[in-house]
Amino acid sequence: MAPNGDIANRPMADKAFEWAWTAMHQKNWRDAAERWAILRQVYPDHNLPWIQASIAHRALKEYEQSGALLEKAAKCFPKDPDVLIQQSELAIAQQNWVSAQHILAELQEQFPNEIAGWVLIGTVYAAQGYNDQAQLANQLARDKFSDRSSPWIQYAELAMGEGDWNQALERWKLVRKKFPDNAAGYMKAAEAAMQLGDERLARKLKLAREYGSAWLEKTEKEEQEQQLHISPPQRRNWLSFCDLVWTKARFNLKSEASQNHLRYLWWVIDPLLYMSVFYVVFGLLMHRGGPGFIAYLLTGLVPFQWFAKTVQQTSNSIVNGKGLMHKVRISPLFFPLVGVVQNTGKQLLVFGMLGLFLVLYGLPPTVHWLAFIPIVLVQLMLMVVVSCALAMMVPFVRDLTNLIPTGIQFLLFTSGIFYTIDRIPEEWRSLFFINPMANILYQYRQIFVENQWPDWSALGWVAFGCAIGLGSVIILYRRLESIFPRVVIE
């Protein structure tokens, strides 16, 4: 019988095997054994139904059936190393060490480039308590397969098996350095840290599994440098927290871009289409607002959309982040801040497109454009306060998420986006500018459309109010930090 016949490449065979694989992945071993038995009748010339069925029976501790299947497979597929690998695994499961060593020696002789034969021999020695022999066997495996992860993982697991947790941490660090995408380097290392009672390191390792080894190395380096300079611990914590927010936002942007065929180019096309629609509708078709109205409209609409998208995305961020919150101890403030930073990264391109449009529209840059930076910073502060406040309230009042879109729509029509300030009666303008977004949009138009400096006094009052709001939000988050993990699952 041919172990790898053409039938193995047929889509129908792949789908049939996936049927059995599903039960294996779910660890439903009885169903898996029965499904592989059916597939052996349909595909007798393929090795998978024989070998995988033996694994299912071994998991059920039906060692006799598992062995019989492997004996049959050995006769049908004499050149398949997987048969010897599974025979050795079966012997290990039965603690038949002599048989396991004999099979592995045969595997090494017949298939010297098969890594399992070199790794499993270390497993056999370690299971018998022969630690020195296990270390030697592992050294041979690492020398021969230095670019493969399994011998290096075994290297760290041997230290854990001996209870040498400090040594295990060092070896897992080596695994992360050589194979940064391997989950064991983080999660197993976290287990070792917990055994040493270092919960903080364990949490950091679990976070690093999601945010990458580069973030972990950077954090450790910063902590070492700060310890040498005896930096205040509060400052070190805030630096690490900000770096974590930035790292998560950056990864989210990469993930978002990877879902589109045009990737990052879409961030340019989207605002371009957005501004083009309003230009065509209001400027070419409706001729609304008179000369310069399109520039007036877009200088208000573009910043407002930044505010609206950010608030909409972050309002439910703490509830959505409950999975990570229950794995590691992290401030709930992390979740809305990631959304703010993520949207700000994309908004920089949108502002760039707005600037290009204004130049083409006949409004070239002037010295007043320098005030763009403080205006953006004030708006960013406002979005942080609003986003974090709403994200804090939503876990306690879930129905609030239904009101947020309506509130944003209300602000859209009360912030002076579609009409000029002179249309507002004089006696109502003070009330109009109580709305901080109306105030900020007015400042954008002062520098871009009117070629004037912003009203620094009005902008300063908005910044002052945002600073008070930010301080209040931070205090509330600290007081509620221990409550959020319980509330989000209710």
Identify the pLDDT of residue 327: 64
Q: What is the pLDDT of residue 236?
A: 45
| Helical segments of 128-164, H only | 131-144, 149-161
DSSP 4: B
**Mean local confidence (pLDDT), 164-171:** 89
Question: Mean per-residue pLDDT for 306-314?
Answer: 91
pLDDT digits (tens, 9 = 90+) for 21-50: 888 888 899 998 998 899 888 888 888 899
Tokens of 146: 């230095």
The predicted model gives 401-421 an average pLDDT of: 86
Q: Read off the pTM.
A: 0.56
The beta-strand segments (E) located in 71-180 are none
How far is residue 341's CA from residue 380's CA, in Å, rounded to a whole number? 9
Cβ atoms 149, 182 nearer than 8 A: yes
The most confident of 102-116, 171-185, 353-367, 460-474, by mean pLDDT? 460-474
Is 70 exceeded by the pLDDT of residue 283?
no
Q: What is the Cα–Cα distance from 248 to 210, expressed in whole angstroms? A: 9
Average pLDDT over residues 243-255: 78
Among 12-16, 92-96, 420-424, 428-432, where is mean pLDDT lowest?
A: 12-16
How far out from the chain centre does Cα 449 lie?
A: 41
Locate 37 and state its tokens.
């038995």
**pLDDT (mean) for 380-385:** 94
pLDDT of residue 34: 92
Checking if the pLDDT of 15 tops 80, the result is no
Q: How far apart are CA 347 and CA 353, in angstroms?
A: 10
pLDDT at 381 over 90: yes
Structure token digits, residue 283? 């400027």
In 121-159, which positions are buried (b, 16+ CB within 10 angstroms) versus exposed (e)?
bbbbbbeeeeeeebbebbebbbeebeebbbbbbbbbbbb
Work out the mean pLDDT of the chain and round it to a whole number: 83
Quote the pLDDT of residue 264: 67
Q: What is the pLDDT of residue 233?
A: 40
pLDDT in tens, 440-490: 999 999 999 888 999 999 999 999 999 999 999 999 988 888 787 777 766
Write down the pLDDT at residue 258. 67
* Proportion of the chain above pLDDT 90, given as a percent: 27
For residue 255, give the 3-state DSSP assignment: helix
- Contact yes or no for 13/7 (Cβ under 8 A): yes
Is 202 within 8 Å of 171 (Cβ atoms)? no
Contact present, 33 and 53 (Cβ < 8 Å): yes
Which pLDDT does position 228 carry in this prediction?
47
Residue carrying structure tokens 């070998």: 51
